[in-house]
Structure 1
């Protein structure tokens, strides 16, 4: 399988490298980065996730790509997080589906990197994978991610649900579901 590498004006969405793993583990142990996740992750669990992301890209040619900066010689190719696509088969009422997701180091928040990389991922989803639809979901209280979903042309379905991995009284249990289809992607200038 040919591994796809996506390029935007400022970023590469690429295969994971061994040097990314320690940075990813630091991200996953950061309370701010993990604010809308049930718990912080140990380095061991973080490495398992990174290995899985790497293997899925190897097997499928796409997935949750490692994101790095193109320019700025001092930080060139520096891992800043992941953005990409994943086949979701979890016990969710809208699965199976392909979701788009992101997680960036907090020092790269607020600079448009997640939005830029997400647009490239959606373009790939519609142009290369010929998907009819892509979903995104997050905790109701995660307004920052919902803002990105809206910026990339996704629509809140108003079909909130309780994540099956969390107890219904958990503060992160209630989730919003966003979707975008091919036609909406064209209107949002994704392709």
Structure 2
């Protein structure tokens, strides 16, 4: 997964120790997919393709992120969905077959046409789910959810009094780093206001 590689990349003391690909495919359309593709290009991959099943207008990545990808020689291939991973005689990845797609009566459908891309690495960045394993405290099981996200109110407080959350694990807005920072600020202000009320009440 792209997020696992990016985590290793951000924490690595020596980038030369990271597994690197000469030709890679990134599946996805969000900022994580763009980040992964750009990092592979900057690490020296000579051929980086980001492939998305819909069009550019539907991509979750911002226009700014798309431009960064293009500036780093990442090819954005749209209207294509994965069909099959292609392996060589030794069982190593040698490429991927894709189905061309199009919209028909509001539905995304294959056109019947296929194409292949050569690669030696494939990264998936097509959405993340809530990781229950990250929350070991039994109290965490009481968190109310909205789908796979943690429910929070306007003050970023969860269903457990005194417990706040923010970022891409909560049920508010887009999954952007700048928004996660804003969530932290708003939650801190809400905590401070609550603590001041407690002091006054005492």
Q: Which has the larger radius of gyration?
A: 2
> Larger RCO: Structure 1 or Structure 2 (Cα < 8 Å, ≥ 6 residues apart)?
1
**TM category, shorter:** under 0.3
TM-score, length of structure 1 as denominator length: 0.23
TM-score, length of structure 2 as denominator length: 0.22
